[in-house]
């Protein structure tokens, strides 16, 4: 695992710990929202969970299992 991958994993672990929700619970929250686009989900997590832009962005990428370099398809 690269140092960048380790940093992102640490960021996701910290989000889960601070918010008291697993990644699966956060993914379910995203699905339940009905939002499908990255920006909409990022904004929702910022508003509902009080996450900063970077944390919300990383969380959406983790939920979509995206590296940020390709379009998200659902």
Task: Report the C-alpha gap between 49 and 19 in whole angstroms.
Answer: 7
Q: What is the pLDDT of residues 57-74, one digit of tens each?
A: 999 999 998 765 554 444
Task: Work out the widest C-alpha separation in the chain, in whole angstroms.
Answer: 34
Q: What is the pLDDT of residues 41-52, one digit of tens each?
A: 999 999 999 999
pLDDT at residue 1 in the model: 79
pLDDT at residue 53 in the model: 97
Instruction: For residue 31, give both structure tokens.
Output: 């699905």
In this structure, the number of other CB atoms found within 10 A of the CB of residue 61 comes to: 17
Q: What is the pTM of this model?
A: 0.85
């Amino acid at each position: 695992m690269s140092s960048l991958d380790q940093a992102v994993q640490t960021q996701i672990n910290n989000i889960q710990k601070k918010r008291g929700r697993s990644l699966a619970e956060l993914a379910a929250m995203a699905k339940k929202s009905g939002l499908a686009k990255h920006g909409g989900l990022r904004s929702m997590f910022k508003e509902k969970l009080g996450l900063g832009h970077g944390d919300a962005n990383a969380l959406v990428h983790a939920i979509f299992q995206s590296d940020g370099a390709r379009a998200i398809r659902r």
